[in-house]
């Protein structure tokens, strides 16, 4: 599910770049049309995988899952809730109506798809329906599916941590996911910090911790959805609390949780230091920030390499609005 979703995100990003370039060089309008069509074909692939046309969306769970293709042609859905099912959030672009008006060929192609390929158009968001400020939404997630995915993601018993969004649902801490194939039993536990497996080299762990690049994209995607829906879309935050928030408010709250990994708490400690007295209070160390590879899914402690400034330093972008 994540591989196809990344490609859908890529197609929409390239489409948007081509649309901007087309304002100056008309030849890029054809490129925009090409990537728009690629985006639709990827959405179609997500609904029809393998010989038995197995889709990646599970309506019962309200989540996207990986589908395993066995040698005998059988498709098996891996009903394991991880960031795999959150990546489809990233495939989202907001197009201003005035931009479409400058691209008649692109708009004509969109209209043709609606008229001649309605089954394809129905797989994605309704781009023909204008949202807040005459904006158009292009997303893998229609509104109903978006709300279901967010219900999972914003649940403190699943993905929502005090420090961001976990890479895997916390439900597997006490109830591990078990998958048996050809007599081999495979078990996956929620593992919030260091990996308990050498499968990923023994250092990286995608089974529970908080990863900044993923969280950064979650925040940006929620903001984009809000640009379109505005206050017409509100969700329980956290799930089950009964407190309704629009998606910009949700994005801001998640951003604050991520920032709290680095900011001092009431006792003067920074979560990423993991309670280390010297790093928290020694004047020679307390104000030196290390940008770890990933962070403990429950307490925010830094884990892995401590020099990953490339992606973890994106926290500076999240802090910028807070600093005015």
Residue with tokens 């802090």: 319
Please report, for the chain, the start and end positions of each structural domain, with discontinuous segments joined by +: 2-153, 158-324
242 pLDDT more than 50:
yes
What is d(CA 209, CA 159) in angstroms, rounded to the nearest whole number? 10
Portion of the chain with pLDDT greater than 70, in percent: 95
What is d(CA 45, CA 51) in angstroms, rounded to the nearest whole number? 12
What is d(CA 324, CA 322) in angstroms, rounded to the nearest whole number? 5
Q: Quick one: average pLDDT of 116-144? A: 93
> According to the model, what pLDDT value does residue 1 have?
61
Lowest mean pLDDT segment, chosen from 178-182, 207-211, 256-260, 277-281: 178-182
Average pLDDT, the chain: 93
322 pLDDT more than 80:
no
Portion of the chain with pLDDT greater than 90, in percent: 81
pLDDT in tens, 65-119: 999 888 887 888 999 999 999 999 999 999 999 999 999 999 999 999 999 999 9
b/e string for 289-310 if b means 16 or more Cβ within 10 A?
ebbbbbbbbbbbbbbbeeebee
Q: Quick one: average pLDDT of 217-238? A: 97
Q: How far is CA 63 from CA 84, 96, 215, in A?
A: 10, 29, 18
> According to the model, what pLDDT value does residue 48 have?
80
pLDDT in tens, 13-41: 999 999 999 999 999 999 999 999 999 99
> According to the model, what pLDDT value does residue 324 have?
45
204 pLDDT more than 90:
no
153 Cβ contact partners less than 8 Å away, ≥ 6 residues apart = 86, 159, 160, 165, 218
Residue whose C-alpha is closest to residue 128's, from 105, 107, 98, 153: 107
Q: Quick one: average pLDDT of 36-51? A: 87
Q: Are 202 and 224 in contact (CB under 8 A)?
A: no
User: What is the secondary structure of 246-307 as a DSSP string?
Assistant: EHHHHHHHHHHHHHTTTSB-TTS-BGGGTT-HHHHH-TTTTT---B-SEE-TTT--EES-SB
pLDDT in tens, 290-303: 999 999 999 999 99
> According to the model, what pLDDT value does residue 68 have?
87
What is d(CA 215, CA 166) in angstroms, rounded to the nearest whole number? 9
2 pLDDT more than 80:
no
pTM above 0.85? Answer: yes
């Amino acid at each position: 599910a994540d591989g196809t979703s990344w490609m859908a995100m890529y197609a929409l990003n390239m489409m948007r770049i081509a649309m901007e370039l087309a304002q100056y060089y008309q030849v890029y309008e054809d490129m925009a049309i090409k990537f728009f069509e690629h985006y639709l074909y990827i959405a179609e692939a997500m609904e029809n995988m393998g010989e038995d046309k197995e889709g990646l969306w599970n309506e019962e769970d309200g989540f996207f899952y990986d589908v395993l293709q066995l040698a005998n042609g059988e498709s098996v859905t891996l009903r394991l809730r991880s960031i795999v099912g959150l990546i489809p959030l990233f495939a989202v672009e907001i197009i201003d109506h005035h931009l479409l008006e400058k691209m008649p060929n692109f708009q004509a192609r969109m209209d043709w798809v609606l008229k001649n390929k309605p089954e394809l158009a129905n797989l994605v968001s309704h781009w023909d329906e204008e949202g807040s400020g005459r904006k158009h939404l292009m997303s893998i997630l229609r509104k109903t599916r978006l709300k279901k995915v967010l219900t999972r993601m914003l649940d403190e018993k699943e993905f929502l941590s005090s420090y961001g969004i976990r890479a895997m649902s916390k439900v597997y801490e006490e109830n591990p996911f078990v998958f048996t194939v050809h007599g081999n039993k495979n078990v996956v536990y929620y593992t919030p910090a260091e990996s308990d497996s050498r499968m990923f080299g023994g250092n990286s762990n995608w089974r529970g911790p908080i990863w900044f690049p993923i969280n950064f994209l979650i925040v940006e995607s929620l903001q984009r959805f809000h640009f379109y829906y505005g206050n017409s879309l509100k969700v329980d935050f956290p799930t089950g609390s009964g407190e309704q928030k629009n998606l910009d408010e949700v994005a801001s709250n998640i951003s604050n949780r991520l920032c709290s990994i680095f900011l001092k708490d009431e006792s003067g400690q920074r979560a990423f230091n993991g309670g280390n007295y010297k790093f928290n209070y020694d004047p020679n160390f307390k104000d030196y920030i290390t940008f770890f590879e990933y962070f403990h899914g429950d307490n925010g402690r830094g884990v892995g390499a401590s020099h990953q400034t490339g992606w973890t330093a994106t926290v500076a972008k999240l802090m910028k609005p807070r600093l005015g």
